[in-house]
Amino acid sequence: HVQLVESGGGSVQAGGSLRLSCAASGYTYSANCMGWFGQAPGKEREGVAAIYTGGLGSYYADSVKGRFTISQDDAGNTVYLQMNSLKVEDTAMYYCAADYGPPPTVLPDTLEEADFDYWGQGTQVTVS
């Protein structure tokens, strides 16, 4: 059973930065994709960023391109989300997710929750 534990959320002023971390444990091999989803108050959860193995690269939602960067440690067990130039509209609960299914051949247009097998409990990011 895979466990994902997020950390790094908090409150920050607009224009500031935060770095979220997600540590995965429980499997002997790394997920093919690790992603971050955000759920703003009263809204559905949406994919923010994802990183894929095999050199496929990373996905970013249009709203965060140029401001957020997703990365992973060499072991593939920890994924980070560097959030810069934060905006009030970035306020959300951020969830880490892992996809252990077959990797896609091309980057997706959007992230689908159904593609991810395991989820963390979330970490709150509040931008004021």
Distance separating alpha carbons of residues 33 and 111, to the nearest angstrom: 11
Tally of CB atoms within 10 A around 44 = 8
pLDDT one-digit tens code per residue, 54-65? 888 999 999 999
Lowest mean pLDDT among 47-51, 104-108, 114-118: 104-108
| DSSP codes, 111-123 | --GGG--EE---E
User: In this structure, what DSSP letter does residue 14 have?
Assistant: T
pLDDT on residue 119: 97
pLDDT at position 27 over 80: no
Question: Mean per-residue pLDDT for 26-52?
Answer: 92
| DSSP codes, 19-68 | EEEEEEES-SS--SEEEEEEE-TTS--EEEEEEETTTTEEEE-TTTTTTE
Question: Mean per-residue pLDDT for 20-43?
Answer: 90
Distance separating alpha carbons of residues 71 and 59, to the nearest angstrom: 11
pLDDT on residue 28: 65
pLDDT at position 77 over 80: yes
